[in-house]
A and B are shown apart, each in its own frame.
Chain A
Protein backbone atom coordinates (compact mmCIF):
# COMPACT_ATOMS: atom_id res chain seq x y z
CA UNK A 1 0.00 0.00 0.00
CA UNK A 2 2.80 2.37 0.88
CA UNK A 3 4.61 1.53 -2.34
CA UNK A 4 1.46 2.15 -4.30
CA UNK A 5 1.07 5.55 -2.70
CA UNK A 6 4.70 6.37 -3.49
CA UNK A 7 4.16 5.27 -7.11
CA UNK A 8 1.08 7.43 -7.35
CA UNK A 9 2.78 10.49 -5.92
CA UNK A 10 5.89 10.06 -8.06
CA UNK A 11 3.94 9.53 -11.26
CA UNK A 12 1.62 12.45 -10.59
CA UNK A 13 4.72 14.59 -10.04
CA UNK A 14 6.17 13.43 -13.36
CA UNK A 15 2.89 14.21 -15.12
CA UNK A 16 2.77 17.69 -13.62
CA UNK A 17 6.30 18.28 -14.90
CA UNK A 18 5.34 16.85 -18.31
CA UNK A 19 2.34 19.16 -18.52
CA UNK A 20 4.76 22.02 -17.90
CA UNK A 21 6.79 20.83 -20.91
CA UNK A 22 9.48 18.64 -19.27
CA UNK A 23 10.31 15.98 -21.88
CA UNK A 24 12.55 13.93 -19.57
CA UNK A 25 9.88 13.66 -16.92
CA UNK A 26 7.37 12.70 -19.59
CA UNK A 27 9.60 9.92 -20.93
CA UNK A 28 10.15 8.56 -17.43
CA UNK A 29 6.41 8.60 -16.78
CA UNK A 30 5.48 6.82 -20.02
CA UNK A 31 8.24 4.25 -19.51
CA UNK A 32 7.00 3.61 -15.99
CA UNK A 33 3.39 3.28 -17.11
CA UNK A 34 4.04 1.00 -20.10
CA UNK A 35 4.72 -2.29 -18.25
CA UNK A 36 1.73 -1.58 -16.02
CA UNK A 37 -0.50 -0.99 -19.04
CA UNK A 38 0.93 -4.11 -20.70
CA UNK A 39 0.04 -6.29 -17.71
CA UNK A 40 -3.45 -4.81 -17.57
CA UNK A 41 -4.01 -5.29 -21.32
CA UNK A 42 -2.77 -8.90 -21.13
CA UNK A 43 -5.16 -9.67 -18.28
CA UNK A 44 -8.07 -7.93 -20.01
CA UNK A 45 -7.54 -9.69 -23.33
CA UNK A 46 -7.03 -13.07 -21.68
CA UNK A 47 -10.26 -12.63 -19.79
CA UNK A 48 -12.08 -11.96 -23.07
CA UNK A 49 -10.58 -15.15 -24.49
CA UNK A 50 -8.14 -13.39 -26.78
CA UNK A 51 -4.50 -14.28 -27.15
CA UNK A 52 -1.52 -12.12 -26.31
CA UNK A 53 -1.02 -11.10 -29.94
CA UNK A 54 -3.08 -7.96 -29.48
CA UNK A 55 -1.59 -6.84 -26.17
CA UNK A 56 0.93 -4.42 -27.61
CA UNK A 57 -1.69 -2.89 -29.91
CA UNK A 58 -3.87 -2.08 -26.90
CA UNK A 59 -0.85 -0.72 -25.03
CA UNK A 60 0.07 1.59 -27.90
CA UNK A 61 -3.47 2.80 -28.42
CA UNK A 62 -3.71 3.51 -24.71
CA UNK A 63 -0.43 5.44 -24.73
CA UNK A 64 -1.67 7.51 -27.66
CA UNK A 65 -4.94 8.23 -25.83
CA UNK A 66 -3.13 9.16 -22.59
CA UNK A 67 -0.93 11.51 -24.60
CA UNK A 68 -3.68 13.23 -26.56
CA UNK A 69 -6.01 13.51 -23.55
CA UNK A 70 -3.44 14.46 -20.92
CA UNK A 71 -5.00 17.93 -20.53
CA UNK A 72 -8.12 16.24 -19.14
CA UNK A 73 -6.25 15.17 -16.00
CA UNK A 74 -6.96 17.48 -13.08
CA UNK A 75 -3.54 17.97 -11.39
CA UNK A 76 -5.21 18.32 -8.00
CA UNK A 77 -6.49 14.72 -8.25
CA UNK A 78 -4.62 11.37 -8.19
CA UNK A 79 -3.14 10.31 -11.54
CA UNK A 80 -3.58 6.55 -11.56
CA UNK A 81 -7.41 6.41 -11.44
CA UNK A 82 -7.35 8.69 -14.48
CA UNK A 83 -4.87 6.39 -16.21
CA UNK A 84 -6.92 3.32 -15.27
CA UNK A 85 -10.13 4.80 -16.67
CA UNK A 86 -8.50 5.65 -19.99
CA UNK A 87 -6.77 2.25 -20.16
CA UNK A 88 -10.07 0.51 -19.52
CA UNK A 89 -11.81 2.67 -22.13
CA UNK A 90 -9.22 1.76 -24.76
CA UNK A 91 -9.33 -1.93 -23.83
CA UNK A 92 -13.12 -2.01 -24.12
CA UNK A 93 -12.77 -0.17 -27.42
CA UNK A 94 -10.20 -2.67 -28.66
CA UNK A 95 -12.34 -5.64 -27.60
CA UNK A 96 -15.38 -4.16 -29.30
CA UNK A 97 -13.45 -3.75 -32.51
CA UNK A 98 -12.24 -7.31 -32.23
CA UNK A 99 -15.83 -8.39 -31.94
CA UNK A 100 -15.89 -9.30 -28.28
CA UNK A 101 -18.45 -8.14 -25.83
CA UNK A 102 -16.62 -6.56 -22.97
CA UNK A 103 -17.31 -7.10 -19.32
CA UNK A 104 -14.59 -5.20 -17.57
CA UNK A 105 -15.69 -3.69 -14.28
CA UNK A 106 -13.64 -0.63 -13.39
CA UNK A 107 -12.90 -1.88 -9.85
CA UNK A 108 -11.12 -4.85 -11.35
CA UNK A 109 -9.11 -2.55 -13.47
CA UNK A 110 -7.74 -0.67 -10.51
CA UNK A 111 -6.67 -3.99 -9.07
CA UNK A 112 -5.04 -5.00 -12.32
CA UNK A 113 -3.12 -1.76 -12.51
CA UNK A 114 -1.87 -2.26 -8.98
CA UNK A 115 -0.62 -5.76 -9.81
CA UNK A 116 3.08 -6.32 -10.57
CA UNK A 117 4.02 -5.65 -14.17
CA UNK A 118 5.53 -8.08 -16.67
CA UNK A 119 8.57 -6.85 -18.58
CA UNK A 120 8.20 -7.59 -22.27
CA UNK A 121 9.28 -5.08 -24.91
CA UNK A 122 7.46 -5.87 -28.11
CA UNK A 123 6.28 -4.62 -31.38
CA UNK A 124 2.72 -4.01 -32.56
CA UNK A 125 1.18 -3.88 -36.00
CA UNK A 126 -1.88 -1.66 -35.70
CA UNK A 127 0.03 1.60 -35.50
CA UNK A 128 2.07 0.63 -38.56
CA UNK A 129 -1.07 -0.15 -40.53
CA UNK A 130 -2.51 3.19 -39.46
CA UNK A 131 0.72 4.93 -40.41
CA UNK A 132 0.19 3.56 -43.90
CA UNK A 133 -3.03 5.53 -44.12
CA UNK A 134 -1.57 8.93 -43.24
CA UNK A 135 -0.70 11.47 -45.89
CA UNK A 136 2.83 10.70 -47.21
CA UNK A 137 4.47 13.80 -45.73
CA UNK A 138 2.84 13.27 -42.34
CA UNK A 139 3.79 9.60 -42.35
CA UNK A 140 7.36 10.47 -43.22
CA UNK A 141 7.59 12.88 -40.28
CA UNK A 142 5.98 10.51 -37.75
CA UNK A 143 8.20 7.64 -38.89
CA UNK A 144 11.29 9.81 -38.75
CA UNK A 145 10.70 10.76 -35.12
CA UNK A 146 9.42 7.38 -33.90
CA UNK A 147 10.79 4.38 -35.82
CA UNK A 148 13.87 6.15 -37.12
CA UNK A 149 14.46 7.85 -33.79
CA UNK A 150 15.44 11.25 -35.16
CA UNK A 151 15.02 14.48 -33.25
CA UNK A 152 12.64 17.22 -34.32
CA UNK A 153 15.66 19.27 -35.41
CA UNK A 154 17.21 16.44 -37.45
CA UNK A 155 13.88 15.72 -39.10
CA UNK A 156 13.38 19.37 -39.95
CA UNK A 157 16.89 19.45 -41.41
CA UNK A 158 16.39 16.35 -43.49
CA UNK A 159 13.06 17.49 -44.94
CA UNK A 160 14.02 21.12 -45.32
CA UNK A 161 11.20 22.25 -43.04
CA UNK A 162 11.13 24.55 -40.04
CA UNK A 163 11.12 22.87 -36.62
CA UNK A 164 7.76 24.46 -35.91
CA UNK A 165 6.25 22.91 -39.02
CA UNK A 166 7.64 19.50 -38.05
CA UNK A 167 6.16 19.86 -34.55
CA UNK A 168 2.74 20.70 -35.97
CA UNK A 169 2.90 17.84 -38.48
CA UNK A 170 3.96 15.36 -35.78
CA UNK A 171 1.11 16.46 -33.51
CA UNK A 172 -1.44 16.20 -36.31
CA UNK A 173 -0.01 12.83 -37.31
CA UNK A 174 -0.39 11.46 -33.78
CA UNK A 175 -3.97 12.75 -33.64
CA UNK A 176 -4.70 11.13 -37.00
CA UNK A 177 -3.28 7.83 -35.74
CA UNK A 178 -5.54 7.93 -32.70
CA UNK A 179 -8.56 8.80 -34.85
CA UNK A 180 -7.75 5.96 -37.26
CA UNK A 181 -7.43 3.48 -34.42
CA UNK A 182 -11.06 4.20 -33.57
CA UNK A 183 -12.24 3.63 -37.13
CA UNK A 184 -10.20 0.56 -38.02
CA UNK A 185 -12.06 -2.69 -38.23
Chain B
Protein backbone atom coordinates (compact mmCIF):
# COMPACT_ATOMS: atom_id res chain seq x y z
CA UNK B 1 0.00 0.00 0.00
CA UNK B 2 1.24 3.48 -0.79
CA UNK B 3 1.63 5.80 2.16
CA UNK B 4 -0.62 8.36 0.47
CA UNK B 5 -3.36 5.73 0.30
CA UNK B 6 -2.95 4.96 3.98
CA UNK B 7 -3.18 8.67 4.82
CA UNK B 8 -6.41 8.79 2.82
CA UNK B 9 -7.80 6.06 5.05
CA UNK B 10 -6.67 7.80 8.24
CA UNK B 11 -8.18 11.10 7.11
CA UNK B 12 -11.49 9.37 6.31
CA UNK B 13 -11.44 8.11 9.91
CA UNK B 14 -10.92 11.58 11.42
CA UNK B 15 -14.34 11.68 13.04
CA UNK B 16 -13.99 8.39 14.93
CA UNK B 17 -12.47 9.86 18.03
CA UNK B 18 -11.61 8.32 21.38
CA UNK B 19 -12.34 10.69 24.27
CA UNK B 20 -9.27 12.57 25.56
CA UNK B 21 -7.10 10.28 27.67
CA UNK B 22 -7.58 12.15 30.95
CA UNK B 23 -11.35 12.01 30.66
CA UNK B 24 -11.27 8.28 29.85
CA UNK B 25 -9.10 7.49 32.84
CA UNK B 26 -11.24 9.63 35.13
CA UNK B 27 -14.41 7.84 33.99
CA UNK B 28 -12.76 4.46 34.56
CA UNK B 29 -11.61 5.60 38.01
CA UNK B 30 -15.12 6.69 39.01
CA UNK B 31 -16.66 3.43 37.76
CA UNK B 32 -13.89 1.41 39.41
CA UNK B 33 -14.35 3.18 42.75
CA UNK B 34 -18.10 2.64 42.57
CA UNK B 35 -17.60 -1.09 41.89
CA UNK B 36 -14.97 -1.53 44.60
CA UNK B 37 -17.16 0.48 46.99
CA UNK B 38 -20.19 -1.65 46.19
CA UNK B 39 -18.17 -4.80 46.85
CA UNK B 40 -16.99 -3.32 50.15
CA UNK B 41 -20.45 -2.41 51.41
CA UNK B 42 -21.94 -5.69 50.20
CA UNK B 43 -19.27 -8.00 51.59
CA UNK B 44 -17.59 -6.17 54.45
CA UNK B 45 -19.00 -2.83 55.56
CA UNK B 46 -17.43 -0.36 58.00
CA UNK B 47 -16.42 -1.44 61.49
CA UNK B 48 -19.15 -1.08 64.16
CA UNK B 49 -17.50 1.81 66.03
CA UNK B 50 -16.84 3.82 62.88
CA UNK B 51 -18.49 7.00 64.23
CA UNK B 52 -16.25 7.06 67.30
CA UNK B 53 -13.22 6.08 65.25
CA UNK B 54 -13.71 9.09 62.98
CA UNK B 55 -12.80 11.30 65.93
CA UNK B 56 -9.37 9.67 66.27
CA UNK B 57 -6.50 11.04 64.18
CA UNK B 58 -4.97 7.62 63.42
CA UNK B 59 -8.19 6.37 61.80
CA UNK B 60 -8.60 9.51 59.70
CA UNK B 61 -4.94 9.44 58.66
CA UNK B 62 -5.50 6.07 56.94
CA UNK B 63 -8.00 7.66 54.54
CA UNK B 64 -5.86 10.71 53.96
CA UNK B 65 -2.91 8.51 53.06
CA UNK B 66 -4.90 6.22 50.76
CA UNK B 67 -6.59 9.14 49.01
CA UNK B 68 -3.29 10.96 48.56
CA UNK B 69 -1.65 7.83 47.16
CA UNK B 70 -4.56 7.26 44.78
CA UNK B 71 -4.33 10.85 43.50
CA UNK B 72 -0.56 10.69 43.04
CA UNK B 73 -0.74 7.27 41.35
CA UNK B 74 -3.48 8.53 39.02
CA UNK B 75 -1.31 11.48 37.98
CA UNK B 76 1.66 9.17 37.47
CA UNK B 77 -0.35 6.62 35.48
CA UNK B 78 -1.73 9.36 33.25
CA UNK B 79 1.76 10.73 32.61
CA UNK B 80 3.04 7.22 31.81
CA UNK B 81 0.26 6.75 29.24
CA UNK B 82 0.99 10.01 27.44
CA UNK B 83 4.04 10.03 25.16
CA UNK B 84 6.49 12.80 26.06
CA UNK B 85 4.44 13.90 29.06
CA UNK B 86 6.12 15.77 31.88
CA UNK B 87 6.43 13.28 34.74
CA UNK B 88 8.06 15.55 37.31
CA UNK B 89 4.91 16.68 39.10
CA UNK B 90 3.59 13.11 39.45
CA UNK B 91 6.96 11.93 40.74
CA UNK B 92 7.01 14.74 43.28
CA UNK B 93 3.49 13.83 44.45
CA UNK B 94 4.46 10.18 44.93
CA UNK B 95 7.52 11.25 46.91
CA UNK B 96 5.38 13.52 49.08
CA UNK B 97 3.03 10.64 49.87
CA UNK B 98 5.97 8.40 50.80
CA UNK B 99 7.33 11.24 52.95
CA UNK B 100 3.94 11.69 54.64
CA UNK B 101 3.63 8.00 55.45
CA UNK B 102 7.18 7.97 56.83
CA UNK B 103 6.42 11.03 58.93
CA UNK B 104 3.36 9.27 60.39
CA UNK B 105 5.51 6.28 61.32
CA UNK B 106 8.08 8.55 62.95
CA UNK B 107 5.47 10.34 65.05
CA UNK B 108 3.99 6.99 66.09
CA UNK B 109 7.41 5.68 67.09
CA UNK B 110 7.93 8.77 69.25
CA UNK B 111 4.53 8.79 71.00
CA UNK B 112 4.20 5.01 71.54
CA UNK B 113 6.48 3.23 74.05
CA UNK B 114 9.00 0.88 72.50
CA UNK B 115 7.44 -2.17 74.18
CA UNK B 116 4.20 -1.60 72.27
CA UNK B 117 5.78 -1.35 68.81
CA UNK B 118 5.53 -5.05 67.84
CA UNK B 119 1.85 -5.24 68.86
CA UNK B 120 1.06 -2.07 66.92
CA UNK B 121 2.91 -3.23 63.86
CA UNK B 122 1.39 -6.69 63.77
CA UNK B 123 -2.08 -5.63 64.89
CA UNK B 124 -4.76 -8.28 64.68
CA UNK B 125 -5.78 -8.07 61.04
CA UNK B 126 -2.61 -8.26 58.97
CA UNK B 127 -3.73 -11.37 57.12
CA UNK B 128 -7.14 -9.79 56.45
CA UNK B 129 -5.36 -6.73 55.14
CA UNK B 130 -3.17 -8.72 52.75
CA UNK B 131 -6.14 -10.59 51.32
CA UNK B 132 -8.92 -8.01 51.41
CA UNK B 133 -7.07 -4.99 50.04
CA UNK B 134 -6.22 -6.73 46.73
CA UNK B 135 -9.70 -8.25 46.62
CA UNK B 136 -11.39 -4.86 47.04
CA UNK B 137 -8.91 -3.37 44.56
CA UNK B 138 -9.75 -5.89 41.85
CA UNK B 139 -12.87 -4.24 40.34
CA UNK B 140 -11.10 -0.87 40.10
CA UNK B 141 -8.01 -2.63 38.72
CA UNK B 142 -9.97 -4.24 35.89
CA UNK B 143 -11.75 -1.03 34.80
CA UNK B 144 -8.56 1.04 35.03
CA UNK B 145 -6.48 -1.48 33.12
CA UNK B 146 -9.13 -1.60 30.40
CA UNK B 147 -9.01 2.21 30.16
CA UNK B 148 -5.21 2.14 30.09
CA UNK B 149 -5.33 0.15 26.88
CA UNK B 150 -6.53 3.36 25.20
CA UNK B 151 -3.38 5.07 26.38
CA UNK B 152 0.01 4.95 24.68
CA UNK B 153 2.32 3.57 27.35
CA UNK B 154 5.89 3.40 26.15
CA UNK B 155 6.76 1.47 29.33
CA UNK B 156 3.91 -1.05 29.65
CA UNK B 157 5.29 -2.82 32.73
CA UNK B 158 5.81 0.34 34.72
CA UNK B 159 2.45 1.73 33.61
CA UNK B 160 0.69 -1.49 34.64
CA UNK B 161 2.42 -1.31 38.02
CA UNK B 162 1.17 2.25 38.53
CA UNK B 163 -2.38 1.14 37.65
CA UNK B 164 -1.91 -1.57 40.30
CA UNK B 165 -0.85 1.03 42.89
CA UNK B 166 -3.84 3.22 42.02
CA UNK B 167 -6.29 0.31 42.29
CA UNK B 168 -4.54 -0.88 45.45
CA UNK B 169 -4.92 2.55 47.04
CA UNK B 170 -8.65 2.50 46.19
CA UNK B 171 -9.01 -0.97 47.72
CA UNK B 172 -7.05 0.12 50.79
CA UNK B 173 -9.22 3.22 51.20
CA UNK B 174 -12.33 1.08 51.58
CA UNK B 175 -10.60 -1.61 53.63
CA UNK B 176 -9.40 1.07 56.07
CA UNK B 177 -13.02 1.70 57.11
CA UNK B 178 -13.36 -1.91 58.21
CA UNK B 179 -9.96 -2.53 59.77
CA UNK B 180 -9.51 -1.86 63.51
CA UNK B 181 -5.73 -1.54 63.27
CA UNK B 182 -5.09 2.16 62.90
CA UNK B 183 -1.43 2.47 63.87
CA UNK B 184 0.74 4.09 61.19
CA UNK B 185 3.16 1.23 61.87
CA UNK B 186 0.53 -1.27 60.75
CA UNK B 187 -0.55 0.81 57.76
CA UNK B 188 2.98 1.47 56.52
CA UNK B 189 3.76 -2.25 56.65
CA UNK B 190 0.71 -4.22 55.59
CA UNK B 191 -1.05 -1.70 53.37
CA UNK B 192 2.23 -1.19 51.54
CA UNK B 193 2.68 -4.93 51.05
CA UNK B 194 -0.89 -5.37 49.81
CA UNK B 195 -0.61 -2.44 47.40
CA UNK B 196 2.81 -3.71 46.35
CA UNK B 197 1.22 -7.03 45.39
CA UNK B 198 -1.21 -5.13 43.18
CA UNK B 199 1.70 -3.28 41.63
CA UNK B 200 3.38 -6.57 40.82
CA UNK B 201 0.20 -7.96 39.28
CA UNK B 202 -0.16 -4.74 37.29
CA UNK B 203 3.40 -4.94 36.01
CA UNK B 204 2.92 -8.54 34.85
CA UNK B 205 -0.39 -7.85 33.13
CA UNK B 206 0.71 -4.48 31.78
CA UNK B 207 3.52 -6.11 29.85
CA UNK B 208 0.97 -8.20 28.00
CA UNK B 209 -2.04 -5.90 27.79
CA UNK B 210 -0.60 -2.41 27.39
CA UNK B 211 1.59 -2.97 24.33
CA UNK B 212 0.58 -1.23 21.12
Q: Is there a chain B Cβ closer than 8 Å to A74's Cβ? A: yes
Task: Tell me if A101 counts as interface (CB < 8 A to partner B).
Answer: no
* Interface 0/1 of B1-18, CB less than 8 Å to A: 111111111111111111
Complex: A128 Cα to B2 Cα, angstroms: 10
CA gap between A167 and B15 in the complex, in Å: 9
Residue B58 lies at the interface, judged by CB distance under 8 Å to chain A = no
Mark each residue of chain A from 55 to 73: 1 if its CB lies under 8 Å from any CB of chain B, else 0: 0100110011101110111
Known: A71-B20, A72-B151, A89-B83. A145 touches B12 (CB 8 A): yes
Question: Is the CB–CB distance between A77 and B14 below 8 Å?
Answer: no
Q: Per-position contact with B for A144-171: 1 when CB-CB < 8 Å, else 0?
A: 0111010110000000000000011011
Q: Check B2 against A77 for contact (C-beta < 8 Å).
A: no
A71 to chain B, nearest CB (A): 4
Main SS at interface, chain B: loop
Q: A60-B3, A122-B3, A123-B2 are in contact. Are A72 and B11 (CB under 8 A)?
A: no
Q: Does A9 contact B (CB under 8 A)?
A: no
B7: A residues at CB distance < 8 A:
27, 30-31, 34, 63
Taking the closest CB of chain A, its distance from the CB of B51, in whole angstroms, is 43
| Complex CA distance for A184 and B7, rounded to whole angstroms | 21
**Cβ of B19 to closest chain A Cβ, rounded Å:** 7
A142 touches B9 (CB 8 A): yes
Alpha-carbon separation in the docked complex, A98 to B2 (Å): 21
Q: Cβ of B6 and Cβ of A60 under 8 Å apart?
A: yes
| Complexed CA–CA distance, A84 and B85 (Å) | 12
Among residues 41 to 89 in chain B, which have CB atoms less than 8 Å away from a CB atom of chain A? 81-86
Structural contact, A147 and B10, CB atoms closer than 8 A: no
Chain A, residues 116-160, CB within 8 Å of chain B (1/0): the string is: 000001111001100100000000001001110101100000000
Of listed A59, A72, A182, residue having the most chain B CB within 10 A: A72
Q: Is A48 an interface residue (CB 8 A)?
A: no
Contact of B211 among A18, A168, A182 (CB under 8 A): A182
Contact call A171/B8, Cβ cutoff below 8 A:
no
A154 to chain B, nearest CB (A): 11
* A-chain residues with CB within 8 Å of residue B15 when the two chains form the complex: 21, 167
Q: Does A50 have its Cβ within 8 Å of any Cβ on chain B?
A: no
Residues of chain A having any CB pair with chain B under 8 Å: 18-19, 21-23, 26-27, 30-31, 34, 56, 59-60, 63-65, 67-69, 71-74, 77, 81-82, 84-86, 89, 121-124, 127-128, 131, 142, 145-147, 149, 151-152, 167-168, 170-171, 174, 178, 182
